[in-house]
Structure 1
Amino acid sequence: MGIYERQRHMVAAGLWGEPFRPDGDAFVAPLAAAAPVTGVAVDVVVETEAKFALQAQDEAVPPVEEVAPSSDSFGHDDARPRDKTQRRLAQNREAARKSRLRKKAYIQNLETSRLKLAQLEQELTMARRQQGHGAAGAGFLAPPVDPRVTAFELEYARWAEEQKRQAAELRAVLQSGAPELQLRLLVDAAVAHYDALFDARSRAARADAVFVLSGVWRAPAERFFLWIGGFRPSELLQVLAPRLDPLAERQASAVRALQNTARQLEDALSQGMSKLQQTLVDALLTVDAPDDGGGYAARQMASAVGKLDDLVSFVDQADHLRQQTLRNMNKILTLPQAARGLLALADYCQQLRALSSLWAARPREPA
């Protein structure tokens, strides 16, 4: 019994005194040696000591707090896709807004063109009525207007509006320094636009060549510079020259050669027109001769009408010369120079139309 008490006292001293002793680990060996004597009691004491030791360690070690993810850890990676999605949605909304604005502007342009065409049709109808009344007062009725002629008048009005729009695009691209591909597309479209005018004028000439040559479908100031239904190619080059500088020596020489060739062909066509006019005059003068009863006068008038059909050929040749001059000019020039030249030609045509509007709105003296 005394042995048990002494061992219990020693165990208790080791249990409560170990945290305060620097050599607390030295007690393990005597405790292990005493284990065979008191088997159950020692096991209980050891278990209790281990429990209190673990509890002391838990109290000594502070609890680990959960660290919130920093901005540059996983949270940042999770936010990055959301930022990309938000930016993409914002870009899509901006693109949709711009698309709606472009569509609205396009619809407004269509409506403006429709109103202008309706006004033009009304003016043409009134002019034809006045022409019919004047002709009836002179003792003859005006012939019916070929629908192909009316279609050409409307087509030319649309052509002028499209030329104005293309000029605005060319000017914007030249000022912004857009890629060469975009400039090439606009230059090719402008040249094709003139080709469309030449084709439409050829169809109208087959319907009524005199109408095309008279230029009544053009503005008054445009008619003042009219040559066989259109502009003179040599004058075209003269208009474009100031906008093409600086030209290389090779380019300047090629432009001068092209201008000389255009003048020669213009002179040849003008001489052919003069001969045709003289032939018509001779045919009309022979009609005044006394009829021999064989229908000579009728045959001469039919011959004169047949010669008027030759006017279609002159219109086609003049337009062919204009077309070739434009194409050869584009071959000589660089792409930016060709764009500036086409822009200068469009501005020139618009200035002539503006001059015609000012002329029509000028103050007139009372009758």
Structure 2
Amino acid sequence: MVGSIYNDMKASNVSVVSSNLQFGGLNNGTMVGVGGGGGGGALGNGHFENWGDSGVVADHSQQTDTSTDTDDKNQAYVQQLENSRLRLTQLEQELKRARQQGVFVTSGFSADQSHSVGGTGALAFDIDYARWLDEHQRLINDLRLAVNSHVGDSELRLLVDGVMSHYDEIFRLKSVGAKSDVFHMLSGMWKTPAERCFMWLGGFRCSEVLKADLLRQQTLRQLQRILTTRQAARALLAIGDYKSRLRALSSLWLARPKE
């Protein structure tokens, strides 16, 4: 009898499964294959549905998150560029104001006017000195080209006089700068590191920065009177090359790889 009941239950279960499979699913808490999607789905209310579709949705969601992260990074990069542009504009405006104040200082109407600018005196001198160096390099290049081309003495003298006058300009700028910010001038911080190093090796004294200028100016004038035009030109080229090499050495030192 037990075997008969077992056989009846087995046949009944087989028929149920067959019937349910015929309609594409299993009910009453069993696996139910609903819909035309291949594979199974997530278990919800006792059902597995659309496993393949869920995988596609997950992949699409992951791609969406990646795309969102990329967009956020791009926006941050654009914002960084915009901030840099604004900062550059601000620096340009500050430099423009400093140059305007520098023109006021270096015009040197009176000592009181120079002192009224105060803290901008050092910056004004640094700007004027950088401008003087650029012009000086141009004059030296023209003089070197004239010497190598063997131009006449009259034309060469004009170039020598131009370099001499340009040296007078730097002496004037340093005099005005000392009235505005004497400590900046005495410290020699407007010079390159290599120039300051040689000043230190030579037993540098702050007062010599200004006192020696008068001696330098007188030496240049005597040089022009004693030497011929062509000799004076070569002497100016030698002085210019010496200064240029010191600045080049400083540039190499500042550009060295940092460990």
Query: Normalised by the size of structure 1, how large is the TM-score?
Result: 0.37
Mapping for residues 183-262 of structure 1, pairs under 5 Å: 183-226=156-199
The reply on whether 1:321 has 2:207 as its aligned counterpart is no
> 2:192 & 2:172 partners in 1: Cα distance?
20
Report deviation, 1:333.
1.1
> What corresponds to 1:349 in structure 2?
243
Deviation at 1:214, TM superposition (A): 1.2
Distance 2:159 2:196 in 1: 28
Question: In the TM superposition, what is the alpha-carbon distance from 1:184 to its structure 2 partner?
Answer: 0.4
Residues 187 and 338 in structure 1, CA contact (< 8 A), matched pair in contact too: yes
Alignment match of 1:180 (pick from 153, 172, 184): 153
- Does residue 162 (structure 1) correspond to residue 135 (structure 2)? The answer is yes
Q: How far apart are residue 334 of structure 1 and its match?
A: 1.1
* From 227, 231, 240, the counterpart of 1:333: 227
Deviations 1:312-343 (A, max 9, x none): xx654321111001111222211101001101
How many angstroms apart in 2 are the aligned matches of 1:361 and 1:317?
A: 33
CA contact (8 A) 2:118 2:181 kept: no
Contact 1:215–1:226, Cα closer than 8 Å, also in 2: no
Give the Cα separation in 2 of the matches to 1:346 and 1:356.
Answer: 15
Show structure 2 runs of 5+ residues with no match: 1-90, 99-116
Instruction: Tell me the matched-pair count.
Output: 148
The alpha-carbon deviation at position 151 of structure 1 amounts to: 1.2
Q: Which has the higher contact order (CA 8 A, sep 6+)?
A: 1
Cα 1:223–1:315 change in 2 (3 A) is: closer
Distance in 2, matches of 1:353 and 1:199, equals: 22
Q: In structure 2, what is the Cα distance between the partners aligned to 1:154 and 1:198?
A: 15
State, as a whole percentage, how many aligned pairs show the same letter. 47
CA–CA separation in structure 2 for the residues paired with 1:178 and 1:315: 36
The 8 Å contact of residues 188 and 209 in structure 2, kept in 1 or not, is answered as: no
Cα displacement (A) at 1:350: 1.0
Whole-angstrom CA distance in 1 between matches of 2:223 and 2:127: 29
- 1:2-151 map, 5 Å: 146-151=119-124
Shift of 1:226: 3.3
Structure exhibiting the larger radius of gyration computed from Cα positions: 1
**Cα distance, 1:364 vs. partner?**
2.2
In 2, Cα distance between equivalents of 1:351 and 1:339: 18
The structural deviation recorded for 1:145 is 6.1
- For 2:144 and 2:209, locate their aligned partners in 1 and report how far apart those are by CA, in whole Å: 31
- Matched AA of 2:162: A
* Secondary structure of 2:199 counterpart: coil
How many angstroms apart in 1 are the aligned matches of 2:220 and 2:186?
A: 21
Q: 1:208 to 1:172 in 2, by over 3 A?
A: same
- Write the distance in 1 (CA, Å) between the matches of 2:242 and 2:210: 23
Instruction: Compare 213-222 and 184-193 and name the one that shifted more.
Output: 213-222
Measure how far apart 1:221 and its partner are.
0.9
Q: Is the 8 A contact 1:202 1:315 kept in 2?
A: no
In structure 2, how many angstroms separate the alpha carbons of the residues matched to 1:145 and 1:361? 33
Task: Report the secondary structure of 2:163's partner residue.
Answer: helix
For 1:363, the equivalent position in structure 2 comes to: 257
> Could you say if the C-alpha distance between residues 362 and 221 of structure 1 is closer, same or farther in structure 2, counting changes exceeding 3 Å?
same
Task: For residue 148 of structure 1, report the CA deviation from its aligned partner.
Answer: 2.1
What is the Cα-based RMSD across aligned positions, in Å? 3.0
In structure 1, runs of 5+ residues without a counterpart are 1-116, 125-143, 233-266, 275-310
